[in-house]
Amino acid sequence: MANTKSAQKRIRSGEKKRVRNQAYRSQVKTAIKKAEQTITSGTANDDAVRAAISLLDKAAVKGIIHKNNAARRKSRLVAKVIKSKTAAA
């Protein structure tokens, strides 16, 4: 356990940030899953993909996930969209 007041405060503030970040990460994962479901179902809803990409960008800007992590996830999502559109055509 922390000995100083400042260390105790860092533990409290860190826990608050962890909970907030966890909620945001969950929101991002849900958006990605919804986008992937629309892709695999064949509807390829661009709005769902756009929303997922937007959430990934916001999470990267806020430092919740690393910018390269966001870029990788966006790249994979767009690649799936392109693949599904070429398969349908």
> Which backbone phi and psi does 44 adopt, to 5 degrees?
45, 60
Per-residue pLDDT reduced to its tens digit, 38-87 = 998 877 678 999 999 999 999 999 999 999 999 999 999 999 999 988 88
Write the DSSP assignment of 13-63 as a string of letters.
Answer: HHHHHHHHHHHHHHHHHHHHHHHHHHHHHT---HHHHHHHHHHHHHHHHTT
> Directed axis angle between helix 5-41 and helix 46-61, to 10°?
160
Cα 78 from Cα 13, distance rounded (Å): 36
Going from N- to C-terminal start, the domains of the chain cover 5-88
Q: What is the pTM of this model?
A: 0.84
C-alpha torsion angle, residues 12, 14, 15, 19 (rounded to 10): 140
CATH of domain 5-88: 1.20.58.110
